[in-house]
C-alpha cells in the first residue's frame, strides 16, 4: 500500500472516530490487530458493541467505498469480532457491524470536501 493511501486511510479513520463521538459513541479501541486481520474501530453505542469498518475513497470510479467490502471481507470481520468477544472479560448484550464510507474528492480529508455515509447494521 502506498504511503499516500495509508495516510488517507488514517485520516479517514480519525474523521470517522470524531463523527462517531459527535453522535455519542464511545471509542473503545482502534486498529485492533491480530494475525488474521484488523478491526478499524470498536465503539459503544449505548450498551451495544459496534465493530466499524472504515473505507475512505477519493472517487467512485472503481465503485463506492461500501461496495468495496466484499463477502470475504465481511466474513473475516465476523471472525475477528468473534475472536475479540471471546477475549473479553465483560459481556455485551448485543453487537453489530457498521460501515463508515468517506469520500474526499480532493484526496485529503479537509472536513469541507468530505462526504460521510454511516451505515448501521451494514451486515
List beta partners, residue 53: 99
pTM of the complete model: 0.87
Domain that holds residue 62: 3-119
How many structural domains are present in the chain? Answer: 1
Per-residue pLDDT of the chain (123 residues; tens, 9 = 90+): 678 778 888 888 999 999 999 999 999 999 998 888 999 999 999 999 999 999 988 777 677 767 888 899 999 999 999 999 999 999 899 999 999 998 877 655 555 557 899 999 998
Give the DSSP per-residue string, 53-79: EEEEES-STT--TGGGS-HHHHHHHHH
Distance CA 17, CA 112 (A): 17
Domain containing 39 — which CATH number? 3.40.1350.10
Amino acid at each position: 500500500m502506498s504511503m499516500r493511501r495509508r495516510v488517507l486511510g488514517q485520516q479517514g479513520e480519525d474523521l470517522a472516530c470524531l463523527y462517531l463521538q459527535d453522535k455519542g459513541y464511545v471509542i473503545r479501541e482502534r486498529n485492533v490487530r491480530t494475525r488474521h486481520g484488523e478491526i478499524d474501530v470498536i465503539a459503544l453505542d449505548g450498551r451495544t458493541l459496534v465493530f466499524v469498518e472504515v473505507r475512505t475513497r477519493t472517487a467512485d470510479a472503481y465503485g463506492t467505498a461500501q461496495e468495496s467490502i466484499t463477502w470475504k471481507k465481511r466474513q473475516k470481520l465476523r471472525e475477528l469480532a468473534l475472536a475479540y468477544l471471546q477475549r473479553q472479560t465483560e459481556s455485551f448484550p448485543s453487537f453489530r457491524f457498521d460501515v463508515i464510507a468517506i469520500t474526499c474528492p480532493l484526496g485529503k480529508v479537509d472536513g469541507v470536501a468530505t462526504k460521510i455515509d454511516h451505515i448501521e447494521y451494514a451486515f
